[in-house]
């Protein structure tokens, strides 16, 4: 009897210790809304997120949080983590194009970079014709960000997609010589 209980205990322990497959190795999201906000968010493998709020319109109207040019971290709830997992599982990143672009000035743009095992995919969206699964992920991240309990931090983060949202400035134009200089 003791031996059977011991075997059951060991089997239960082994089953409960099986490694859960992770949804991603890294996930970054950048959002830019012409008249709303500009932020970058980095999701970790566990429940922590890191956020850089570059700018938001709420400062113009007296709302002081989140502050622009400030770094934050927050903890996702188990429910939020499960929702994120479900949304990511619905997207076949191997079939998603790298860019969805329409030529208009205002509106929203976002950039997603996901890495999982041997897959590394960057997707830039400035269009209203992106796949619905990608749009759902973007809307969920934006809405969830508004409800996080953000904690300010002085720590600087390395964001991979910052150049896509903030392209490098062009080189200065060549200097032309005037008649007086010759």
Structural domain of 111: 21-163
* Residue 7 is assigned to a structural domain of this protein: no
In our burial notation (b when 16+ CB lie closer than 10 A, e otherwise), range 75-89 reads ebeeebeeebeebbe
pLDDT in tens, 87-129: 999 999 999 999 999 888 778 899 999 998 889 999 999 998 9
* pTM for this model (two decimals): 0.75
Tokens of 13: 């322990």
* Residue 78 is assigned to a structural domain of this protein: yes
Strand partners for 149: none
The structural domain count of the chain equals 1
């Amino acid at each position: 009897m003791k031996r059977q209980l011991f075997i059951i205990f060991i089997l239960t322990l082994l089953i409960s210790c099986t490694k859960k497959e992770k949804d991603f190795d890294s996930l970054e999201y950048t959002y830019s809304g012409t008249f709303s906000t500009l932020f970058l968010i980095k999701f970790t493998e566990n429940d922590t997120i890191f956020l850089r709020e570059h700018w938001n319109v709420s400062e113009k109207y007296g709302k002081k949080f989140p502050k622009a040019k400030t770094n934050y971290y927050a903890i996702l709830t188990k429910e939020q983590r499960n929702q994120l997992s479900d949304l990511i599982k619905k997207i076949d990143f191997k079939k998603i194009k790298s860019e969805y672009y329409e030529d208009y000035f205002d509106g929203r743009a976002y950039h997603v970079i996901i890495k999982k095992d041997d897959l590394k995919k960057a997707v830039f969206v400035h269009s209203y014709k992106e796949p619905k699964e990608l749009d759902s992920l973007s809307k969920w991240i934006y809405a969830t960000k508004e409800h996080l309990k953000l904690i300010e931090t002085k720590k600087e983060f390395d964001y991979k997609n910052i150049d896509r949202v903030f392209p490098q400035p062009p080189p200065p134009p060549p200097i032309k010589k005037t008649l007086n200089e010759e």
